[in-house]
Structures are given as structure tokens and as C-alpha cells.
């Protein structure tokens, strides 16, 4: 685990709130010089604490307002088959998140699609046709109660 001092933690919190701020504005908001801010950001990037700078898109605003939580059970735990299945999952744009799970189900995914028909096409024509899928269970989100990308630091 990377050791973070209080200034690093303030910097990370500020970047998670608004990554579009200039180094000067970030530095001022956390009480350090712009040069020190720049160095800290580069160090946090180099150590893997900070990933790429991105902008989050509102799924509903671009016609992808249906979220489905999908649980999947695979036919085999064989490493080669799991790796091939995970490569398939990586290739699917509608899968926003995927977790390998302990317990009754092997994978948990968050799928974002335009409508129920689009989800049915993905499920029936793509996912369930995969040779390593044994079964699945879908749960449609009625509303989004909380969503954040900010990691508590």
C-alpha cells in the first residue's frame, strides 16, 4: 500500500471532486505551491494511485438509461476457460463493471443499455450463447439512489 500524507489525501479528494481544475487552482485549494502540486500529481500517477483523467457521461442523457445487475454462473472454473470468458466480457461495451465473486454466483456485472429490448438482445444473442455460461439472473434497477466514483481517502 502506498503511504499517503495528509496533503496527498487532500489532493486526491480535490481531484475526485473536480479533475478539470488547473494545478494552480488545485494547489491553492489545498494550500501548497503549484510546482509541489504538479510533482505530487506526477508521483501519484507513477505509483498507480491516480489513473487517467476522464469525463463521466450521463448514461440517460445519451440514451443508455436502463441499468441491469446481472449475475452469471459459469460451467467451468478452468483457468483457460475463465480467461477466455473474461476476455469476452472485456470486449462488451454495455458491461460497465464486472466482478469475479465468491458465493453462489461466479460473476456480478452492471450492464447499461438503451431499453429492455437491447438488454434482451445482448443477453440472448451474446452472453447466454457463450460456451462457459451455465446460467444467469437479471435484476433491473428502478432508480439510482447513489452513484459515486470518489474513493474515500
For residues 41 and 68, membership in a common domain is answered with no
pLDDT given for residue 12 in this prediction: 97
For residues 106 and 136, is the Cβ–Cβ distance under 8 A?
Answer: no
For residues 19 and 90, membership in a common domain is answered with no
* Nearest residue to 95 via CA among 73, 117, 122: 122
Taking the CA atoms of the chain, what radius of gyration do you get in angstroms? 20
What's the pLDDT tens digit per position in 99-148?
999 999 999 999 999 999 999 999 999 999 999 999 999 999 999 999 99
Residue 51 lies in a domain: no
With a cut of 90, say whether residue 1 has pLDDT above it.
no
Q: Domain range spanning residue 85? A: 60-140
With a cut of 90, say whether residue 20 has pLDDT above it.
yes
For residues 89 and 24, membership in a common domain is answered with no
For residues 116 and 86, membership in a common domain is answered with yes
For residues 129 and 66, membership in a common domain is answered with yes
Length of the chain: 153
For residues 22 and 83, membership in a common domain is answered with no
With a cut of 90, say whether residue 89 has pLDDT above it.
yes
With a cut of 90, say whether residue 93 has pLDDT above it.
yes
DSSP 124: I
State the CATH number of the domain containing residue 35: 1.10.10.10
For residues 67 and 128, membership in a common domain is answered with yes
What's the pLDDT tens digit per position in 60-76?
999 999 999 999 999 99
Question: How many other CB atoms are found less than 10 A from the CB of residue 61?
Answer: 8
For residues 79 and 126, membership in a common domain is answered with yes
Q: How far apart are the first and last CA of the chain?
A: 13
- Model confidence at 58, pLDDT cuts 50, 70, 90, reads very high
Residue 86 lies in a domain: yes
State the CATH number of the domain containing residue 102: 3.30.70.920
For residues 35 and 69, membership in a common domain is answered with no
pLDDT given for residue 102 in this prediction: 97
- Give the helix/strand (H/E) hosting 112: strand 107-113
With a cut of 90, say whether residue 11 has pLDDT above it.
yes
Overall average pLDDT of the 77-83 stretch: 96
For residues 42 and 111, membership in a common domain is answered with no
Residue 104 lies in a domain: yes
pLDDT, the chain, mean: 96
d(CA 106, CA 130): 15
Residue 54 lies in a domain: no
| CB hemisphere CA count around 146 (13 angstroms) | 3
For 73, phi and psi rounded to 5 degrees? -110, 135
For residues 122 and 71, membership in a common domain is answered with yes
Amino acid at each position: 500500500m502506498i503511504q499517503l500524507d495528509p496533503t496527498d489525501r487532500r489532493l486526491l479528494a480535490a481531484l475526485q471532486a473536480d479533475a478539470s481544475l488547473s494545478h494552480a487552482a488545485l494547489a491553492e485549494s489545498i494550500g501548497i505551491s503549484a510546482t509541489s502540486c504538479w510533482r505530487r500529481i506526477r508521483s501519484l500517477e507513477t505509483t498507480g494511485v491516480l489513473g487517467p483523467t476522464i469525463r463521466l457521461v450521463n448514461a440517460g442523457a445519451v440514451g443508455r438509461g436502463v441499468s441491469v445487475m446481472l449475475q452469471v454462473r459459469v460451467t467451468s472454473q478452468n483457468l483457460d476457460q475463465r480467461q477466455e470468458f473474461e476476455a469476452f466480457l472485456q470486449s462488451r461495451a454495455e458491461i460497465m463493471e464486472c466482478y469475479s465473486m465468491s458465493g453462489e454466483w461466479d460473476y456480478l456485472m452492471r450492464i447499461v443499455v438503451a431499453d429492455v429490448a437491447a438488454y434482451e438482445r445482448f443477453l440472448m444473442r451474446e452472453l447466454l450463447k457463450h460456451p462457459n455460461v451455465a446460467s444467469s439472473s437479471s435484476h433491473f434497477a428502478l432508480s439510482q439512489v447513489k452513484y459515486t466514483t470518489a474513493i474515500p481517502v
